[in-house]
Structure 1
Amino acid sequence: MKDFYQPLIESSEIIKLLRKERQLKPFCQQVLQKKVIDKAAEERGLTVTPEEIQAAGDKLRRDKRLEKAADTIAWLAEQMISVEDLEAGICDRLLWQKLAEHLFAKDVEKIFVQSKLQFDHIILYQIIVANLQLAQEIFYEIKEGEISFFDAAHLYDIDETRRHLCGCEGKVYRWALKPDIAVAVFSAKPGEVIRPIETERGYHLFMVEKFIPAELTPERYQEILHNLFNEWLANEVNYLLYNCKV
């Protein structure tokens, strides 16, 4: 770090700014997390090989289209890090993943099965208007074929962005919806318009375009694994802090 900004910036100035911006605690939490991970990995005999670091580094360069050595050097300079810094960061991330797999890989499928319904999702459209009378009028006009759901959303929705999208909310998970709304939309048939539902935002009309049952995809696997590991890591850091104060 010294090579990049000293003597213009001292380390003490960085810490002072972190304090002022209320970012010192998150930064210290990351330091403690690394200590916990390093200790837990060492206790379990988990290591990262030079070949694994090289493979991950090559992937990073491909992802960032750093085709030539000069491109990589320029990118490192822009990031204010050295090759050693980059490799150390890659090593930390690989060790994080290895430890997460070691601790919780066996639990991912069980957690997925237990909460599978929450991972079901839909392609959802909705219209929100300010009063019940208008919502009911729109509902019956759509039911009678006097206007399409998409045209009604484009004309009447209170949100400008959703008007431009003709009511499209895109992919929505069951857990992201309020319980009463989740029951209504997941009980409907594709293309069916649901009667107005009142919330603090107004009166909602919903239409489900498509139901997508939950699958344990590689992305979902990593999401569950990360959640389990992050919960464990937070508890370990809190335990470390508690013992430090005792």
Structure 2
Amino acid sequence: MKDFSQPLIEASEIIELLRQELQLKPFCQKLLQKKVIDKAARERGLSVTPEEIQTEGDKLRREKRLEKAADTIAWLAEQMISVEDLEAGICERILSQKLAEHLFAKDVEKIFVQSKLQFDQIILYQIIVANIQLAQEIFYQIQEGEISFFDAAHFYDIDEHRRHLCGCEGKVYRWSLKPDIAVAVFSAQPGEVIRPIETERGYHLCMVEKFLPAELTPERYQEILHNLFNEWLGSEVNHLLYTSKV
């Protein structure tokens, strides 16, 4: 694919389009984040080796199914970047991960223990309807065995997508639920249908299929690590902006 960025597109035109699309601020934020990461990594003696870049590059090629060198060259041309651009991006991502580990790896387990309840999950089914009379009628019909929870969700839920899934919300964190609903569902027994609970969305009838107690899995470790890192990064960017105005 032809690289049309030059001479058809000038840098000033890219900036102008970013302004028009309201994307200039997010783009500048990313640039400032890069400056903060690079500076913090230098101060702590963190660096990335060619071998690490090669390993991540090989992983990317496998993910993109770029089996031959010609495939990689064609993909790079399509993305309008060079090998050097690709390696620089990989280096920045590795450096960011290394800095996050250096700063916060020791805090992840402590944060997990302190907030363990918030990381509990359930497999949740729910029905949301618009009025209390219908919600109570559905609840009693389910209790009497006149209709199953799944059929009721399919017929009555106000959300079309959830109707197709017969009320299935899938895995849900405790922290993502309204407090009243969280207390009710995490106190219930699997398969128990909970009486209607009102929120601004309507009246909820909930049923827990399974409880999933929190574990510090590799995925959750990375989630907590990146949350801590992103909070720090945001604070450092704000500090950089403030000091530049003084």
TM-score range, shorter chain: over 0.9
Query: Residue 203 of structure 1 aligns to a residue in which SS?
Result: strand
Gaps of 5+ in 1: none
Query: Residue 145 of structure 1 aligns to a residue in which SS?
Result: coil
Mapped partners of 1:156, 1:241: distance in 2: 52
Match of 2:50 in 1: 50
Alignment map for 1:79-158 (pairs within 5 Å): 79-158=79-158
Mapped partners of 2:155, 2:5: distance in 1: 55
- Structure 1 residue 25 corresponds to structure 2 residue 9: no
Q: Kindly provide the amino acid, as one letter, of the partner of residue 198 in structure 2.
A: E
Gaps of 5+ in 2: none
Mapped partners of 1:45, 1:197: distance in 2: 54
Which aligned segments of 4 or more residues in structure 1 are displaced greater than 4 angstroms? none
Say how many residue pairs are matched: 245
Deviation at 1:4, TM superposition (A): 4.5
Deviation at 1:76, TM superposition (A): 0.5
Deviation at 1:181, TM superposition (A): 0.6
Paired-residue identity, %: 88
Match of 1:41 in 2: 41
Q: Write out per-residue CA displacement over residues 159-182 of structure 1, whole angstroms, 9 at most, x where no aligned residue.
A: 111111111111111001010110
Mapped partners of 2:196, 2:239: distance in 1: 49
Mapped partners of 1:177, 1:108: distance in 2: 23
Mapped partners of 2:128, 2:34: distance in 1: 46
Mapped partners of 1:107, 1:46: distance in 2: 19
Match of 1:5 in 2: 5
Match of 1:202 in 2: 202
Q: Write out per-residue CA displacement over residues 97-124 of structure 1, whole angstroms, 9 at most, x where no aligned residue.
A: 0000000000000000011111101000
Deviation at 1:137, TM superposition (A): 1.2
Mapped partners of 2:243, 2:170: distance in 1: 47
Give me the CA root mean square deviation: 1.2
Mapped partners of 1:137, 1:201: distance in 2: 18
Query: Residue 191 of structure 1 aligns to a residue in which SS?
Result: coil
TM value normalised by structure 2? 0.97
Mapped partners of 1:87, 1:136: distance in 2: 60
